[in-house]
Structure 1
Amino acid sequence: MTPEAAQKIVKLLGLGARGRLVVVGAEQVRAAAKKGKLSLAVVASDASENSRDKVLSVLKAKNIRAIEGISAAQLGAAFGRESTAAVGVLDADLARGIQKAAHESTAGKIV
């Protein structure tokens, strides 16, 4: 993912956090996905294999798209944290904006 696309996605996630349109952390993402509340997830490219597997398995089971390619430190910075493994997007419009930013990046990976 290009640095510009990653920065745009992080900014959108930060705006979503202020509007309470996102959940932060692997466990919160898994819980929201299980309840059917997620529109999209962003999973850190450098998250531990265990965290990635746990999150991605629930997302796949619930047919929720995930974007990869942003580091845990970049994701965490949007929320005043050192790092975070995953962020879940609750709002469909915000999810569309993030997907558009990821598609604009030729190296962005949506799974």
Structure 2
Amino acid sequence: MESRRAKVFRLLGLARRAGGVAPGTDAVRRAIREGEARLILIAEDASSVQVEKVRTTLHDRAIPQARLGDRDALGAAVGLGPLSAVAVTHAGLADRLARELSGSLGESSTDALEA
């Protein structure tokens, strides 16, 4: 049976193939500013500087966010090198990912969604 984390990474790859992700801190910040970001995923080992850049851009916007995997795993999920952050811009897949992440609270507290 597929773990929730594996399912999240699989769905993230599907979002990438559908053209529904903004990979990397700069692209995430742009997607937030342009109102395209539906879900923000931040690597657990992202530097505090990168995390602060994303959180500052979020300001008071109610976009769900979660810490998920390390930079290598987050990047690999979307077919790229290490990434500190990824924004999911595809509304349907962002909703599915958010449901999976919400259901994974018992598996790992770092996967909890924040708004």
The two structures share one fold, judged by TM-score above 0.5: yes
Q: Can you list the C-alpha shifts for 1:19-60, whole angstroms capped at 9, x where unaligned?
A: 101110010000110011111111111101000111122224
Deviates more, 1:52-61 or 1:81-90: 52-61
Indicate the percent of aligned positions where both proteins have the same amino acid. 30
CA distance in 1, matches of 2:37, 2:81: 24
Q: So what's the TM-score if we normalise by structure 2?
A: 0.86
Task: Name which of 103, 109, 113 aligns with 1:110.
Answer: 113
Write the mapping of 1:1-111 to structure 2, written as runs, cut at 5 A: 4-105=3-104, 106=106, 107=109, 108-111=111-114
Gapped regions of structure 2 (runs ≥ 5): none
Unaligned runs of 5+ in 1: none
Rounded Cα–Cα distance in structure 2 between residues aligned with 1:89 and 1:80? 14
- Structure with the bigger percentage of strand: 1
User: How many residues end up aligned between the 2 structures?
Assistant: 109
Matched residue type, 1:69: L
TM-score (norm 1): 0.89
